[in-house]
Amino acid sequence: MSDEIILAIESSCDETAIAILKNGKELLVNSVNTQIQDHQRFGGVYPELASRLHLQNITKVLSYSLSLKGFDVSSITHVAVTGGPGLPGALQIGVMAAKTIAQYLNVPLISVHHLAGHIYANEYIQDFHYPLLALIASGGNSEIVYLPSPMTFEIIGETEDDAIGEAFDKVARALGLPYPGGVMIDKVSQDPGIEIFPLPKPKVSGYNLSYSGLKSHLVRMIEKEPRDENGKIPEKRVKEYARSTEVAFVNQLLDKLEKAALEKGVKQVVIGGGVSANSYLRAEAKRRFENSEIELVIPPLWCTTDNAAMIAKAAHHMIELNRFAGLDMTSQPDRDLEEESN
């Protein structure tokens, strides 16, 4: 049988990424161009700038990726792209590039859901055993998803207001930490001696989550903090806030995840999205599942940020299920995960 070679493109937010995956297992290329520094001065992703940078960078990332290891372009058998959800203008650039390449090479096109990518990224370290539970924690999502079988998604819990990453970023901003705030909160919370203070536990039904009330409570507390002559909160206090925020935010997430995992009787729990890079989340999740029959799969750090390797992995399963897109496909900024279900 001839090799399956997927060229995958991701451009849903602030990373322009290209990956090449051979036979569903061998990652030949994984290039990521991040725009984080370009958006830093705006304190968050500026959508119009994101689109322009994708347009400017996509051919560079593509030609760089294809030049690696003397890659033979004619060996590509499929083109995959993030079709949504994401920023409309940003998605559009990846979709146009993917359609052009697929048409030029006359190969099938696959439109992948971004969150399916975050879930399937975990397969780079462990094969999946169903039923499994996936936790997606990112700047725009906080969801607990049940997968009874491959590429079938049932959202059993989600945030009723802010996503966890968004809430991290807002608390960090109130503390005077730069964007992306979640990363900075993690960085300043590393010292094991930091004292933490208790925070209220939101009352949310089922496996749902809530971060808005907790975030507003913290921002109000921070506004009342004494400051030095430069208007800055003392470093020790910033660290106490950061660590206390991290512990409260992550424990809410893991309490629901643990409960859902036990009640649904899953074989595995997998974690994905930008916030899955958080050191406390990774350590605490490991601690909670270490004596359990349920296997916890945590993605390698390179796989937590947006990349095209995860899109290629999900596309590989879509090929097995014969799920292809036409050349008339469009991006879907509000694409629903449950509608992806097989």
Contact status, residue 150 vs residue 128, Cβ threshold 8 Å: yes
**Residues in CB range of 80: below 8 A, 6 or more apart:** 6, 7, 8, 9, 98, 109, 110, 111, 112, 311, 312, 314, 315, 318
Query: What phi, psi does 93 have (nearest 5°)?
Result: -65, -45
Alpha-carbon distances of 340 from 113, 115, 117, 218, rounded to whole Å: 8, 10, 12, 37
Out of 133, 165, 314, 325, the only residue in the binding site for ligand KG4 (CB under 6 A) is: 165
Asked if 337 touches ligand KG4 (CB under 6 A), the answer is no
**At its nearest, how many Å lie between ligand KG4 and the CB of residue 98?**
20
Check residue 325 and report its DSSP letter.
B
- If one asks whether residue 86 binds ligand KG4 (CB under 6 A), the answer comes out as no
Q: Which of residues 39-58 bind ligand KG4 (CB under 6 A)?
A: none
Q: Does 115 bind ligand KG4 (CB under 6 A)?
A: no
Rank residues 78 and 244 by Cβ distance to ligand KG4 and give the closer one.
244
Query: In this complex, which beta carbon is closest to ligand KG4, that of residue 12 or of residue 65?
Result: 12
- Please work out the total of residues on this chain that contact ligand KG4, with binding judged by CB under 6 A: 20
98 near ligand KG4 (CB under 6 A): no
Task: Name residue 269's beta-bridge partners.
Answer: 133, 296
Contact 101, 119 (CB under 8 A): no
- The answer to the question of residue 182 lying near ligand KG4 (CB under 6 A) is yes
d(C-alpha 16, C-alpha 91), whole Å: 10
Rounded to 10 degrees, what is the CA torsion of 7, 108, 340, 163?
30
Report the site for ligand KG4 in 3-22 (rule: CB under 6 A): 13
- Please, which residues bridge with residue 21 across strands? 6, 27
The answer to the question of residue 169 lying near ligand KG4 (CB under 6 A) is yes
Name which position in 84, 94, 180, 299 contacts ligand KG4 (CB under 6 A).
180
Q: How far is the CB of 282 from ligand KG4 (least distance, A)?
A: 9
Strands 78-84 and 109-113: what pairing?
parallel
Q: Closest separation between CB of residue 13 and ligand KG4, Å?
A: 5
Residue 179: DSSP 8-state: S
Applying CB under 6 A, does 273 fall inside the site for ligand KG4?
yes
Residue 299 interacts with ligand KG4 (CB under 6 A): yes or no: no
Q: How far is the CB of 181 from ligand KG4 (least distance, A)?
A: 5
Q: How far apart are CA 82 and CA 311, in angstroms?
A: 7
Among 274, 297, 317, 335, binds ligand KG4 (CB under 6 A): 274
303 binds ligand KG4 (CB under 6 A): no
Residues facing residue 27 across a β-bridge? 21
DSSP state of 270: E
Given 188, 306, 307, 314, the residue binding ligand KG4 (CB under 6 A) = 306
Contact indicator for 126, 297 with CB cutoff of 8 Å: yes
Q: Which residues bind ligand KG4 (CB under 6 A)?
A: 13, 138-140, 165, 168-169, 180-183, 185-186, 273-275, 277-278, 305-306
